[in-house]
Structure 1
Amino acid sequence: MVTENQAVSLARKDLFSRALSVPDRLHMAAHSHHLWPDVTLAAQVEAWEDAAILADHKWDKALGQVYPAAQGLVARELSLPSPDSVVFAPNTHTLLAVLVSAVGRRPVRVLSTDGEFHSFRRQAQRWVEAGEIALTLVESDGPDFAERFLATAREGQFDLIFVSHVFFKSGLVFDRVWELADLARPEGPWVVVDGYHGFRAVPTDLSTVADRIFYLAGGYKYAMAGEGAAFLHAPPGFGPRPALTGWYAEFGDLEGPPGGVGYGRDAGRFLGATFDPSGLYRFVGAGRMLEAEGLTTTVVAEHVAGLRRSLLARIAAGAAGPLKDAVVLNPPGDGPQARFLALRHPSAQAWKLALAAQGVVVDVRDDVLRVGLSIYHDEADLAAFCAACGTLV
């Protein structure tokens, strides 16, 4: 087992031997598609074997063992009072649609920002066109963002407040987001925190706000599990009867009007219908590996923080060529940090393509180059990355 101090200087490449064995590739995009650890192959095979051997009875295991194990991992990671407040779905878009369907008025008055991920941005724009929501956006750039957003939330009349904990493009950490819990009420507003770039990236304790805040995230990024394992933490009493509902929401202890449609009392009220459970198998496999190896979010974040400081020093010294001319949107500070560097420059798109031609994987959002680091990176990776960047123009 790796101790917290050891992990700061030790990359665990051994846990990712298959993904790292791909020749001529330097993966520097752990924030985008995190490499899968070796244990997820065994988890994927287990899902297949259960389907082949158990056939129809695979659901007894998938829903009776794997699903509760996944709920437990989330509850422990976020310090939730109960795993029953966690519901899984194939993706966050599905959960968002079900959640909004539970709001009892139209148009839904929504407060958000101009920096949300596309799964919300695109759907919100279409809902506006259809008259389903009335949308107020707060600009997410600027050092006074937190004050501006909180002030708008406190002064406005909203049914739903949707905002990121860590912004996907800039890496800004909205560390005051939990103050929104003071506004949340079952009758509205509901506060939904997009935690996709925070879950297993930034240590997050929801114990004091879990009774008032929705939290949306998944396994694709820092949970290292890939697609098919998105989840929602739903506070009790908020959104008891989603209009968009599947037959899985009929399971468990139901409540509802006599002769009407019943819903589970726990987060199962947001369930849909039949899904591919293999993502949950991988989610549990990766989560159990992290726990067994002592790779807490704090441990991995400290490892990444050391690499981030080293990489920024290399860039500033000119070791990464023209990257020294980029603006660092999320420089190191005193608070929690995103698990990627966001570098703004007019040539970001061209740099991404040129690096890809050398087998270096990064990603770009508009004019922002993003470099994501994880527990499988070390100083040698930084040196190789900077050498590749030195060839850029």
Structure 2
Amino acid sequence: MKSYKHLFSRALAASPGRIHFAAHSHHLWPDASYEGHVQAWDDAAALADRKWEKIFGEVMPRAQANIALELKLPDPRTIGFAPNTHELLMRLFSARAPGKIEVLTTDGEFHSFRRQSARWEEEDRIMRRIVPCEPFETFSERFLAAMREQRPDIAFLSHVMFRSGLRFDGVEELAAYASPGGTWVALDLYHSFMAMPCDFSRVADRVFLLGGGYKYAMAGEGAGFIHAPPGYAERPGYTGWFADFGAMEKKQGEVAYGEDGSRFLGATYDATGLYRFNAVQAMLSKEGLDTAAISERLAVLRTMVAEAIAAGKAGATLRRAELLQPNAEGPQARFLSLRHADAVLWKSALMAANVITDARDDVLRIGFGLYQDQADVSAFCDAVRKALG
């Protein structure tokens, strides 16, 4: 297996003894991201006020093109940006007509949406119908059945669930129920964007897609994005001056919006994340790496770790956990989920030994990145055995 550690020399040298298996949580930054970061600073110094011309005229379009290529979207201009997907979520919901919003969702959503939707429900702004993720084997068909039973205002769910790695396989049928004046469908791609090959070309005209650069795109914070299908959510109520950037110097009258993804833009923010994202994309292109190739490589390491844990090579403790394997076929999440009541305690003990994983409630997650190879699997197993027994 070819090593790609040279692409991460700065991050690896910064903590030589660290055993990092949390790429699904905070991916180590490749050297290219440093170069992108510096370019953002250099542009700000050289261009000052005119930096926005470059950001809107070059940096954003390049990032849009990179995302569209990755997701097989027909028009890059449908993509808008924000510092994070939560901000874009707020804009999406603000575009619905006044009144209580009925939402079809799941019990496996990330804390940001779970917390926000629960708070909205407390204020009687929305009403949630929640489809349980388990049993995993029937999840997709149960979610679709709930959609057929009663069409919501918004169907919001993760393409891949952040705790278990469960994948939703009913995107095309779900999209069939969408319409600009009826149901809106939104997919959170945070654990599928650049984690597995994705082709949304057949549903791009009906489905909102949200994701970002923080995890598998290896670009860090600040590069949240939304793909907004034409004709849907045309006037978000939560809006800022970026959403009408081209008319900034004109006489201000009605609240105007772009017809493309720019209608979801907010206000002044640090675009450094987009610089890093574009730099990492250029690095991958230069190395001849795409998501399919990276996924194939890391699937090998994922299997090696799972088999090592089952065989006791990582000690006896992790063998007590239940390995969650929700998807029998098709692309797999880029992390292992081990369910046990002591997951948080294990994560803390491993952290103290400089073995980086993460835990969500009763699930310990072990994630994989391009900077790992077979030797890291052995080092991980040895360190876990010493730390946990």
Q: Same fold (TM over 0.5)?
A: yes
Which of residues 49, 52, 66 in structure 2 aligns to 1:56? 49
- Asked if 1:366 corresponds to 2:358, the answer is no
C-alpha distance in structure 2 between counterparts of 1:120 and 1:133, whole Å? 13
Which of residues 311, 318, 326 in structure 1 aligns to 2:321? 326
1:139 matched residue in structure 2: 132
* Partner SS state of residue 390, structure 1: helix
- Asked if 1:117 corresponds to 2:126, the answer is no
2:68 matched residue in structure 1: 75
2:310 matched residue in structure 1: 316
Q: 1:309·1:332 contact (CA, 8 Å) conserved in 2? A: no
Q: 1:253·1:265 contact (CA, 8 Å) conserved in 2? A: no
1:119-172 CA-partner distances (Å, limit 9, x unpaired): 101110111111211111111121211111110011113110000011001111
One-letter amino acid of the structure 1 residue matched with residue 245 of structure 2: F
Cα root mean square deviation, aligned: 1.5
C-alpha distance in structure 1 between counterparts of 2:142 and 2:328, whole Å? 20
C-alpha distance in structure 2 between counterparts of 1:196 and 1:291, whole Å? 21
TM-score using structure 1 length:
0.95
Q: 1:84·1:266 contact (CA, 8 Å) conserved in 2? A: yes
Which of residues 2, 22, 44 in structure 2 aligns to 1:10? 2
Q: 2:357·2:365 contact (CA, 8 Å) conserved in 1? A: yes
Shift in Å at residue 253 of structure 1? 8.8
2:174 matched residue in structure 1: 180
C-alpha distance in structure 1 between counterparts of 2:366 and 2:216, whole Å? 14
C-alpha distance in structure 1 between counterparts of 2:162 and 2:3, whole Å? 24
1:236 matched residue in structure 2: 230
| 1:215-364 → structure 2 map (5 Å cutoff) | 215-252=209-246, 260-321=254-315, 322-330=317-325, 333-364=328-359
C-alpha distance in structure 1 between counterparts of 2:65 and 2:79, whole Å? 9
C-alpha distance in structure 2 between counterparts of 1:351 and 1:45, whole Å? 38
Q: 1:175·1:336 contact (CA, 8 Å) conserved in 2? A: no
Q: 2:355·2:384 contact (CA, 8 Å) conserved in 1? A: no
Unaligned runs of 5+ in 1: 1-8
Pairs aligned (count): 382
C-alpha distance in structure 2 between counterparts of 1:252 and 1:48, whole Å? 24
Which of residues 31, 35, 51 in structure 2 aligns to 1:38? 31
C-alpha distance in structure 2 between counterparts of 1:259 and 1:13, whole Å? 54
1:207 matched residue in structure 2: 201
2:16 matched residue in structure 1: 23
1:85 matched residue in structure 2: 78
Moved more, 160-169 or 346-355: 346-355
Q: 1:93·1:119 contact (CA, 8 Å) conserved in 2? A: yes
Q: 1:44·1:282 contact (CA, 8 Å) conserved in 2? A: yes
Unaligned runs of 5+ in 2: none
Moved more, 79-88 or 287-296: 287-296
Q: 1:250·1:262 contact (CA, 8 Å) conserved in 2? A: yes
| 1:149-164 → structure 2 map (5 Å cutoff) | 149-164=143-158
One-letter amino acid of the structure 2 residue matched with residue 14 of structure 1: H
C-alpha distance in structure 1 between counterparts of 2:200 and 2:334, whole Å? 20
Cα pair distance change 1:293/1:38, threshold 3 Å: same
Q: 1:73·1:284 contact (CA, 8 Å) conserved in 2? A: yes
* Partner SS state of residue 374, structure 1: coil
Which of residues 174, 191, 196 in structure 1 aligns to 2:190? 196
One-letter amino acid of the structure 2 residue matched with residue 15 of structure 1: L
One-letter amino acid of the structure 2 residue matched with residue 59 of structure 1: W
C-alpha distance in structure 1 between counterparts of 2:223 and 2:292, whole Å? 22
* Partner SS state of residue 366, structure 2: strand
Q: 1:75·1:83 contact (CA, 8 Å) conserved in 2? A: yes
C-alpha distance in structure 2 between counterparts of 1:270 and 1:232, whole Å? 8
* Partner SS state of residue 191, structure 2: coil
Q: 2:165·2:326 contact (CA, 8 Å) conserved in 1? A: no
C-alpha distance in structure 1 between counterparts of 2:265 and 2:230, whole Å? 15
Q: Percent identity?
A: 55
Shift in Å at residue 333 of structure 1? 3.3
* Partner SS state of residue 264, structure 1: coil
One-letter amino acid of the structure 2 residue matched with residue 311 of structure 1: V
One-letter amino acid of the structure 2 residue matched with residue 148 of structure 1: R
- Asked if 1:130 corresponds to 2:130, the answer is no
Q: 2:8·2:31 contact (CA, 8 Å) conserved in 1? A: yes
Q: Give 4+ residue runs of structure 1 displaced > 2 Å after superposition.
A: 175-179, 251-254, 330-334
1:310-368 CA-partner distances (Å, limit 9, x unpaired): 11111111101121221111267321100000011122111111111111100000110
C-alpha distance in structure 1 between counterparts of 2:378 and 2:32, whole Å? 28
C-alpha distance in structure 2 between counterparts of 1:292 and 1:190, whole Å? 38
